[in-house]
Amino acid sequence: MAEEPKEAGQTTPGFQNPVAGFGVTFKAMFKKRLTEQYPEQQKTTAPRFHGRHQLNRHPDGLEKCIGCELCAWACPADAIYVEGAENTDEERYSPGERYGAVYQINYARCILCGLCIEACPTRALTMTNEFELADSSRANLIYTKEQLLAGLEEGMVDSPHSIFPGTDEQDYYRGLVTEAAPGTVRQVAVSKGEKPEEKGVGA
């Protein structure tokens, strides 16, 4: 009786199959180990790595966040909470009509997908290369605005303060305001502290 022809790619069972398998093992034995000595040696992340968020400022120190809440709507994990408030001439945090009075990101929920970055109309929210976000408390994983807001660089004045004289919010978004006006001083934050008319109440 004639032997049936073998199908294409079919190998002959026998001694060669185990040897081929061990060949992969022996080849890996002599390769350089890829163990990373973390955290003693810090890992270098990619330039566009999705890490902890940052709320940015304009060159004069005003906040870029306008409290529109689009980032919160875009978040698929419901990890962002924003409360917007109105700017006034006496207390201005951003060049527009509104600013983010309350801004929180829950990193117990956040999946670092970056959809909030794409939704932000003013480039107020970006992502840094910081990836060490682990903590022993769930409450500490909720980052507040004070933790997310970028620090002051040279020439910046902390918000709230007045906008650059002779400009409007459109000039900020076009990049025409590159520094703080000479003599710019920080305004008194009435909304975050005790209101003047409330002093002495209940005494």
Contact between 94 and 26 under an 8 Å Cβ cutoff? The reply is no
CA angle 25, 27, 31 (to 5 degrees): 115
Token pair 């040279």 in the structure block, residue: 154
pTM of the complete model:
0.74
Q: For residue 126, list its beta bridge partners.
A: 54
Token pair 């566009």 in the structure block, residue: 48
**Three-class secondary structure of residue 173 per DSSP:** helix
User: What sign results for the dihedral spanned by CA atoms 73, 78, 79, 80?
Assistant: positive
Q: Which two tokens mark 160?
A: 């709230």
DSSP assignment, residue 7?
Answer: P
Q: For residue 84, list its beta bridge partners.
A: 100
Radius of gyration of the chain (CA): 28
User: Where along the chain do its domains lie?
Assistant: 53-173
Dihedral, CA of residue 13, residue 19, residue 22 and residue 27, to nearest 10: -130
pLDDT of residue 201: 41
Length of the chain: 203
Q: What is the pLDDT along the chain (203 residues), one digit of tens a residue?
A: 555 555 555 555 555 677 777 877 888 888 877 787 888 888 888 888 999 999 999 999 999 999 999 999 999 999 999 999 999 999 999 998 999 999 999 999 999 999 999 999 999 999 999 998 989 999 999 999 999 999 999 999 999 999 999 999 999 999 999 999 999 999 998 876 554 444 444 43
Q: Which fold has domain 53-173?
A: Alpha-Beta Plaits (3.30.70)
pLDDT of residue 138: 92
